């Protein structure tokens, strides 16, 4: 089973490795100073040391993986909510822009009507001015 080891776990792992090395050295020292134990007993002791070390490490890694998975899911949920927010925002923006365009179109047609009326009124004024000049000339 492949285990995930984070950089922040290096000091703890280093400490566990050092403890295992020290335990092994202590066992070797004890073997030299005391009468040798039967081979089977030595193997049992080594297996216990190795099992304790790997079991705690596996449990820690499992806890880290579970925590990482929860955090990842939380981030994915946040991303999903943010994407929904962006979608809603885009819809609101489109509605707003459509309303602005409709308003501009309405105002532009109103402005064009006012310009047309002003042009007609100017033509009327010019005609009246010419008629007044003609009348005064007679």
Written as one string, the DSSP assignment of 23-56 is: HHHHHHHHHHHSPPPPHHHHHHHHHHHHHHHHHH
Q: Which residue would you say has higher pLDDT here, 104 or 121?
A: 121
pLDDT score at 1: 45
- List, for residues 76-90, the tens digit of each pLDDT value: 999 999 999 999 999
**Would you list the domain boundaries of the chain?**
9-137
Contact status, residue 4 vs residue 58, Cβ threshold 8 Å: no
What are the two backbone dihedrals, phi and then psi, of residue 73, each rounded to the nearest 5 degrees?
-65, -40
Per-residue confidence band for 129, with pLDDT thresholds at 50, 70 and 90: very high
Per-residue confidence band for 18, with pLDDT thresholds at 50, 70 and 90: confident
DSSP string, 106-129: HHHHHHHHHHHHHHHHHHHHHHHH
Say how far apart CA 34 and CA 27 lie, in whole Å: 10
Say how far apart CA 55 and CA 136 lie, in whole Å: 118
- Minimal CA–CA distance to 42: which of 21, 54, 27? 27
**Exposed/middle/buried for residue 21 (C-beta within 10 Å: 0-12, 13-18, 19+):** exposed
């Amino acid at each position: 089973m492949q285990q995930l080891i984070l950089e922040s776990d290096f000091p703890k792992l280093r400490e566990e490795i050092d403890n295992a090395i020290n335990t092994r050295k202590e066992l070797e020292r004890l073997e030299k100073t005391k009468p040798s134990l039967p081979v089977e007993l030595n193997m049992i002791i080594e297996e216990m040391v190795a099992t304790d070390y790997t079991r705690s490490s596996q449990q820690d890694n499992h806890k880290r993986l579970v925590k990482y998975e929860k955090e990842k899911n939380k981030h994915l949920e946040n991303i999903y909510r943010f994407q929904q927010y962006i979608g809603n925002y885009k819809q609101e923006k489109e509605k707003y822009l459509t309303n602005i365009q409709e308003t501009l179109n309405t105002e532009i047609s109103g402005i064009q009507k006012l310009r047309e009326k002003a042009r007609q009124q100017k033509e009327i004024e010019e005609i009246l001015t010419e008629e007044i000049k003609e009348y005064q000339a007679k």
